Amino acid sequence: MRVVLQRVSHASCTVEGQVSGAIENGLCLFVGFCQDDNETILEKMIHKILNLRIFSDEQGKMNLNVQQIGGSILSISQFTLYASCIKGNRPGFTEAAPAQMASLLYDKFNAFLKERIHTETGIFQADMKIDLLNDGPVTIILDSRELKL
């Protein structure tokens, strides 16, 4: 599982002219799944995301997590996080989870998030327009294979 996490002042997702999700202060997550992912990995990744201290305290030090600031999450599915550009000029996506599996994982990921924090979402496999204001900027890449979860 890969997540590109961005600290945002606001973020929204629009599909066919309709806003499917919008947040103010919080995190915009671009989420991709691979064939090895499972519910245990989802839970551990959520724990990591919710506990990352990437918001400033009163002294301006990154010392608070998204829940401590009363923030929200916008979760966007993005299979292109598993693009392979090693050979040729057209990305390959063989490492990404198949659509049916990824859809189930994305739904579970969002359900687990919603149990813990206000979460808005994009629409799986839709052509989405994402509008966000990156705060900092703070952008962090999490890969479940590289983390000690």
Question: What pLDDT is attached to residue 94?
Answer: 87
Active site residue 80: yes
Active site residue 124: no
Q: What DSSP line would sit under 53-81, residue for residue? A: --EE-TTS-EEE-TTTTT-EEEEEE-GGG
- Of the candidates 79, 109, 119, 121, the residue annotated as catalytic is 79
Q: Residue 21: left (phi > 0), alpha (psi -120 to 50), or beta?
A: beta
Domains of the chain plus CATH, in order, are 2-131 (3.50.80.10)
- Of the candidates 6, 33, 78, 121, the residue annotated as catalytic is 78
Flag whether pLDDT at 149 surpasses 70.
no
Active site residue 100: no
**Digit-coded pLDDT (tens) for 64-85:** 999 999 999 999 999 999 998 9
Side chain identity at 148, as an amino acid letter?
A: K
Distance from the Cα of residue 98 to its chain's centroid: 18
